[in-house]
Structure 1
Amino acid sequence: MSIENIPEIYIKNKSENLDLFVYDFRMTNDVVKSKVNLGMNMFSFLQVGKKQVHFAGTSVAVNQDQSLLLKKGNWLWTELLDTKAIYYCKLFFFSERKLKEFLEKHSKNKKIAIEDTPFFVIRNDSYITTYLSSLSTIKEAPSIFANSLLSVKFEELMLYLLQKYGEKFEIYLHSLIAKETSPFKKIVESKIHSNLKLEEIAFLCNMSLSTFKRHFIKEYNTSAGRWFKDKRLQKAKETLELDNLKPSDIYLDFGYNNLSNFSIAFKNKFGINPSEITS
């Protein structure tokens, strides 16, 4: 699967060095775990559909009642149609320079969150609805005024969210310009109980699959495939023991494409079929 460089692929004039950019993204087919290199921090205002994103150490899912502010970097995006035959979200990209300008003007708090969360969930409300409508009208403005208007709209949105979420949002904004720290083990161990493929986890670590496998052996003294398999089977066993679930309910969650393969792997490790586990 190729990597999409966003917002570059949406910008018509490639010579432009934009600090702010708005794009209306629409599609009519589901997209699952597409690889995205996000070159700017971005607001994703979901209008129709569902969205799930994976970053280095975490993931989040939202519907049209929520929007996201996403940190630049490598992401896996899943975008799903809802009841309507279209997926639509308005994307608002902003540069680090614009963010620094805003913080210098409006923020005195330079605390950084202990947990480096790459996303901020925004609850959509009447203001957001009205704001997005006004943002759309900028496209109709003469180009000589568009950038100035967009700059005003960016500051307006940031001030509103700062007022709405207070220190929590302020600290998050500062984290976007802090030096990134993404230790290899932190990323790997946050994905133990996901159903991501090794290639997808390697992408989140900013590595090729071959480099990821070599680095993994140095860190864990075993192969990545074997390590993830053992960890996930152990978690599957715990899930069957504690929850009122059947093997057919969980095998997909632990990276298996069919129940038969899951049952064989489970029996090879524990000596019993998963269906023999009772809560």
Structure 2
Amino acid sequence: MPIENIPEIYIKDKEKRPDLFVYDFKMTNDVVKSKVNLGMNMFSFLQVGKKQVHFAGTAVAVNKEQSLLLKKGNWLWTELLDTEAIYYCKLFFFSETKLKEFLEKHTRNVAIVKDEIPFFIIRNDAYITSYLNSLSTISDAPAVFMENLLSVKFEELMLYLLQKYGRKFELYLYSLIASETSPFKKIIENKIHSNLKLEEIAFLCNMSLSTFKRQFIKEYNESPGKWLQNKRLQNAKNLLEQGKLKPSDIYLDFGYNNLSNFSIAFKNKFGFNPSEISS
């Protein structure tokens, strides 16, 4: 699957990347786990449909009742139609330059953020609805005015969210300009519970599959496929021992396409069938 460089593919003038950029994204088909290289931090205001995103160490799913602020970097995006025949979201990209200008102007102290926080969930409300309408209204403005208008609209939105979410949002903004990156092992161990393929985890680590495998063996002294399988089977066993779920309820969550393959792998590791736990 090709990697989409966003917002570059939406910008007409390839010679210049604007500091602020709004794009109306629409589609009529589901897209599952598309690889996205997000070159700028971005608001995703979901209007119609459902969205799930995976970042290095985490994942989040939202519907049209929520919007997301996403950190730039490598993402896997799943975008699904809901009851409508179209998926629609308004994307608002902003540069680190604009973010730093805002923080210098409107926050008192430089916050030191140790953990990278890849996303911030925004609860849609009457203000957000009104704000999005205003963005649509100015979309036809002449280019000479658009840059200044977007600058004002960006500041307005950030001030509103700062007022609404307070220190939590301020810390998130500072995390966007933090230089620290997520350690390789942290990414891997956060993906134990997912059913992502190795190639998809490698992408989230910003590596080719071959580089990822070499790095993995260096860190864990074991192949990634074998290591992940053992970890996931152990987690599956722990889950079944709680007595609330059956093997047929969980095999997909642990990366198996059918119950038979899950049962065979489980028995090879533990010496008995997973059904024997829950029976």
The question of a shared fold, defined as TM-score above 0.5 by the shorter chain, is answered with yes
Alpha-carbon distance between aligned partners in 2 of 1:109 and 1:45, rounded to the nearest angstrom? 29
Amino acid at match of 2:98: K
**What is the match of residue 217 of structure 2?**
217
Question: Is the 8 Å Cα contact of residues 195 and 253 (structure 1) preserved in structure 2?
Answer: yes
- The DSSP-based 3-state class of the residue aligned with 1:261 is helix
Alpha-carbon distance between aligned partners in 1 of 2:131 and 2:56, rounded to the nearest angstrom? 31
Aligned pair 1:148/2:167, yes or no?
A: no
Sort the Cα spacing of 1:95 and 1:191 in 2 relative to 1 into closer, same or farther, 3 A: same
Question: Is the 8 Å Cα contact of residues 110 and 171 (structure 1) preserved in structure 2?
Answer: no
| 1:49-98 Cα deviation digits (max 9, x unpaired) | 11111111111111110000000000011111111111111000000000
User: How many angstroms does 1:140 deviate by?
Assistant: 1.5
1:31-180 aligned within 5 A: 31-180=31-180
Alpha-carbon distance between aligned partners in 2 of 1:112 and 1:69, rounded to the nearest angstrom? 20
Sort the Cα spacing of 1:172 and 1:41 in 2 relative to 1 into closer, same or farther, 3 A: same
**What is the match of residue 23 of structure 1?**
23
Alpha-carbon distance between aligned partners in 1 of 2:21 and 2:235, rounded to the nearest angstrom? 43
Aligned pair 1:229/2:229, yes or no?
A: yes
- Identify unmatched segments of 5+ residues in structure 2: none
Amino acid at match of 1:31: V
Alpha-carbon distance between aligned partners in 1 of 2:237 and 2:61, rounded to the nearest angstrom? 26
- The DSSP-based 3-state class of the residue aligned with 1:195 is coil
Alpha-carbon distance between aligned partners in 2 of 1:243 and 1:105, rounded to the nearest angstrom? 55
Question: Is the 8 Å Cα contact of residues 112 and 172 (structure 1) preserved in structure 2?
Answer: no
Query: Would you say how many aligned residue pairs link Structure 1 and Structure 2?
Result: 279
Alpha-carbon distance between aligned partners in 1 of 2:105 and 2:243, rounded to the nearest angstrom? 51
Question: Is the 8 Å Cα contact of residues 30 and 79 (structure 2) preserved in structure 1?
Answer: yes
- The DSSP-based 3-state class of the residue aligned with 1:228 is helix
Alpha-carbon distance between aligned partners in 1 of 2:18 and 2:198, rounded to the nearest angstrom? 35
The alignment yields a C-alpha RMSD, in angstroms, of 1.0
Amino acid at match of 1:8: E
User: How many angstroms does 1:17 deviate by?
Assistant: 2.3
User: How many angstroms does 1:114 deviate by?
Assistant: 4.1
| 1:208-245 Cα deviation digits (max 9, x unpaired) | 00000011111000100000000000111111111421
Alpha-carbon distance between aligned partners in 2 of 1:165 and 1:231, rounded to the nearest angstrom? 37
**What is the match of residue 13 of structure 1?**
13
- The DSSP-based 3-state class of the residue aligned with 1:181 is coil
Alpha-carbon distance between aligned partners in 1 of 2:91 and 2:112, rounded to the nearest angstrom? 26
Give TM-score, length-normalised by structure 2: 0.98
**What is the match of residue 241 of structure 1?**
241
1:166-205 aligned within 5 A: 166-205=166-205
The range that moved more, 28-37 or 106-115, is 106-115
Amino acid at match of 2:24: D
Question: Is the 8 Å Cα contact of residues 116 and 176 (structure 2) preserved in structure 1?
Answer: no
| 1:27-63 Cα deviation digits (max 9, x unpaired) | 1111111100000000000111111111111111111
Question: Is the 8 Å Cα contact of residues 7 and 39 (structure 1) preserved in structure 2?
Answer: yes
Give TM-score, length-normalised by structure 1: 0.98
Amino acid at match of 1:87: Y
Question: Is the 8 Å Cα contact of residues 42 and 69 (structure 1) preserved in structure 2?
Answer: yes
Amino acid at match of 2:67: S
- The DSSP-based 3-state class of the residue aligned with 1:140 is coil
Question: Is the 8 Å Cα contact of residues 50 and 63 (structure 2) preserved in structure 1?
Answer: yes
User: How many angstroms does 1:139 deviate by?
Assistant: 1.2
- The DSSP-based 3-state class of the residue aligned with 1:79 is strand
User: How many angstroms does 1:182 deviate by?
Assistant: 1.2
